[in-house]
Amino acid sequence: MIDAKTLDADIQQLLKLIDRQFGIQADDLASAMKKIGRRLPKSAHKNAAILVEAQTQARNPKIAIQMDERPLKAPYRALLRAIEAYDRKDARVGAILGTLGGLAFNLIVLLIILVAVLKWRGFV
Query: What confidence score (pLDDT) does residue 75 get?
Result: 96
Q: What pTM value is reported for the model?
A: 0.80
**Torsion angle (degrees, nearest 10) of CA 69, 75, 80, 85:** 160
pLDDT above 90 covers a percentage of the chain that reads 84
Query: What confidence score (pLDDT) does residue 74 get?
Result: 96
Gap between the Cα atoms of 105 and 113, Å rounded: 12
Query: CB–CB of 55/10 below 8 Å?
Result: no
Residue 19: CB partners within 8 Å, gap ≥ 6?
25
The stretches in the chain having pLDDT less than 50 are none
Longest Cα–Cα distance of the chain, Å, equals 84
Using DSSP, state whether 68 is helix, strand or coil: coil
